[in-house]
Amino acid sequence: MPSNTQSTQTRSALSKEIDIDALIVQLGQFGRYQRWVFAYLGLAIIFTSIYNCQYVFNAAGDNYRCKVPECEQSPPVYSRTEPWRKFALPSKGYNCYRKIPIGKSCAPESFSNTTRRCYSWVYEGGTTIVAEFDLACQEWKRTLVGTIHNFGVFLAIPLTAAVSDTYGRRFALIGTCVAPAVFGLLRAFCRNYVVYLFLEFVEALVGNGTYSTAFIIALEIVGLKMRVLGGNIIQSTYAVGQILTAIIAWVIPYWRTFTIVIFTPSFLFIFYIFFVEESFRWLMVKGHDDEAARILLKVAKWNNAHLLPETKAILTGEPSKFSRPWNPFPLSTVPPPPPKETRLMLKVLKSRTMMFRIIVVSFWWISVTMIYYGLSINSVSLVGNKYVNYMMTAFVEIPGSFLCFMTLDRFGRKSSIMTSFFICGLSLLVLPIVKNPNLTILLTLVGKMTISLIFSGIYIYTVELFPTSARHRMLGICSMTGRIGSMCAPQTPLLM
């Protein structure tokens, strides 16, 4: 048995001697180990999906009308059939204006034809923050919740990327899974609109790096041939989370109870420290070869992989019988050891090719996020049950993701993404001129399915365009820029 010193010296050059992509072929590109990790990541993504779209229901619009003290019953009840509506409220704008009373009785002669803005309202449902914080006739305050949330996401992505690239993928994953529970639960008990906005921002800031972190982990543990499938599994899991959000909101419509129910389970993610290993790619890049070798051997054991003797010798630190450092994959191009992180980032930013890629991909991200979130947010305003409409727009993401799987490798990344942009744009251009409600829903679903295909595609394409050491930060920069679109999306109801 070799000594510890000899073992460390042998493994210290692990990243120099082994082409990790070729090694994953030996280990199994999507074996039992990868499937278990995907299951753990999937659970985390379901919850981050719920957190990322809960504001659609918590800050949903509510039916309301001006309060008319002269005619109200006790307590006031919202109804569209009150007989006094005809003479106490105007035919249009009754939610913000009422007729000026000239008497104290509830009779036609007690109201003039002149209207004035009202300052108290009666709500139909009373299950959202609109009624709780009395936001009637202040639509901008309601839509601001989504914008503030996405501003938190805007800052969360590069923050999480820096933590992930510096302290590890696992640390970032667990932190972004557990932290939202604290601020989400605090928000459930707040009594003030401004405090609610602040907690919405902080919860998004500390919790919305989960998806990008999980996506990086997923793509770093599978083989090159399985990256598209892996990315689409992650995207489909996110859609499952959105469907569950609508179901839970349907069953538990009151926003405070709904918030408590969805955030409380997040504390259990602290136990992921016992189940989820660090990314072996990140460990190798950071020079933690002993730990990387341990995990790679674990992957081999779980996948029942038969490693070449020479590969196993390097991973276990056995003395090499070769006179020179041995590369088990001589036909592969082994990358040189990565430079220091700061120098690497400067090198990327000084590269005209890399800067051009960042600009183009960032523009894609802005377009995609605005359309993706805009369609989701406005689905609750379509004709029919808002929960069913939201579930349908979420469900079509699953076939969209698997269309991505079928097209990205067959037709190429760029061709698939550009074709999908064209189909999506065409369906959305036709949408405003269509009067049939069913056709409107159909075009919305086509747009959502194609934009989901694009979303899956640009995540994979972005990851592949940048080197491993800066991969998460570059994904973070492009994704962060794209959040300009998602910040604008909640304001689109104001245009309707």
Please indicate, yes or no, whether residues 159 and 97 belong to a single structural domain of this protein. Answer: no
Q: Give the C-alpha separation, 454 to 365, whole Å.
A: 10
Question: Is the pLDDT score of 93 beyond 60?
Answer: yes
The answer to whether 153 and 55 are in contact (CB under 8 A) is no
In this structure, is residue 332 part of a structural domain? no
Confidence of residue 3 (pLDDT cuts 50, 70, 90): very low
Give the pLDDT of residue 434: 86
136-160 b/e with 16+ CB inside 10 Å = b? Answer: bbeeebbbbbbbbbbbbbbbbbbbb
Please indicate, yes or no, whether residues 270 and 233 belong to a single structural domain of this protein. Answer: yes
Question: Is the pLDDT score of 1 beyond 50?
Answer: no
Please indicate, yes or no, whether residues 239 and 113 belong to a single structural domain of this protein. Answer: no
* 316 against 105, higher pLDDT: 105
Please indicate, yes or no, whether residues 231 and 95 belong to a single structural domain of this protein. Answer: no
pLDDT digits (tens, 9 = 90+) for 441-461: 999 999 999 998 888 888 778
200 exposed, middle or buried (CB, 10 Å; 0-12, 13-18, 19+)? Answer: buried
Please indicate, yes or no, whether residues 56 and 156 belong to a single structural domain of this protein. Answer: yes
Last residue of a domain, one of 81, 97, 124: 124
Query: For 372, how many CA atoms within 13 A lie in the half-sphere containing its CB?
Result: 32
In this structure, is residue 481 part of a structural domain? yes
In this structure, is residue 322 part of a structural domain? no
Give the pLDDT of residue 17: 56
Domain that holds residue 74: 66-124
Phi, psi dihedral angles at 315 (to 5 degrees): -70, -35
Give the pLDDT of residue 14: 56
Please indicate, yes or no, whether residues 74 and 199 belong to a single structural domain of this protein. Answer: no
Please indicate, yes or no, whether residues 34 and 90 belong to a single structural domain of this protein. Answer: no
* 348 against 204, higher pLDDT: 204
In this structure, is residue 173 part of a structural domain? yes
Q: Among the listed ranges 151-160, 263-272, 308-317, 376-385, which one has the minimum average pLDDT value?
A: 308-317
Please indicate, yes or no, whether residues 184 and 197 belong to a single structural domain of this protein. Answer: yes
Give the pLDDT of residue 43: 95
Please indicate, yes or no, whether residues 198 and 118 belong to a single structural domain of this protein. Answer: no
In this structure, is residue 14 part of a structural domain? no
In this structure, is residue 295 part of a structural domain? no
Give the pLDDT of residue 331: 34
Mean pLDDT of the chain: 83
Confidence of residue 12 (pLDDT cuts 50, 70, 90): very low
Give the pLDDT of residue 433: 87
Q: Among the listed ranges 46-60, 212-226, 338-352, which one has the minimum average pLDDT value?
A: 338-352
Q: Which of 259, 157, 260, 263 lies closest to 210 in space, CA to CA?
A: 157
Domain count, the chain: 2
In this structure, is residue 416 part of a structural domain? yes
CATH number at residue 243: 1.20.1250.20
Give the pLDDT of residue 250: 95
Please indicate, yes or no, whether residues 88 and 57 belong to a single structural domain of this protein. Answer: no
Phi, psi dihedral angles at 54 (to 5 degrees): -60, -30
Q: Which of 162, 266, 261, 160 lies closest to 210 in space, CA to CA?
A: 160
Q: Which of 427, 367, 365, 422 lies closest to 396 in space, CA to CA?
A: 427
Last residue of a domain, one of 75, 100, 124: 124
Give the pLDDT of residue 81: 81
pLDDT digits (tens, 9 = 90+) for 202-224: 999 998 889 889 988 888 888 87
Please indicate, yes or no, whether residues 389 and 481 belong to a single structural domain of this protein. Answer: yes
* 408 against 264, higher pLDDT: 264
Give the pLDDT of residue 255: 94
- With a pLDDT cut of 90, the percent of the chain lying above it is 34
In this structure, is residue 316 part of a structural domain? no
CA distances for 312 relative to 143, 300, 319, 478, angstroms: 57, 10, 11, 39
Please indicate, yes or no, whether residues 108 and 252 belong to a single structural domain of this protein. Answer: no
Last residue of a domain, one of 79, 96, 124: 124
> Taking residues 4-21, what's their average pLDDT?
52
Confidence of residue 30 (pLDDT cuts 50, 70, 90): confident
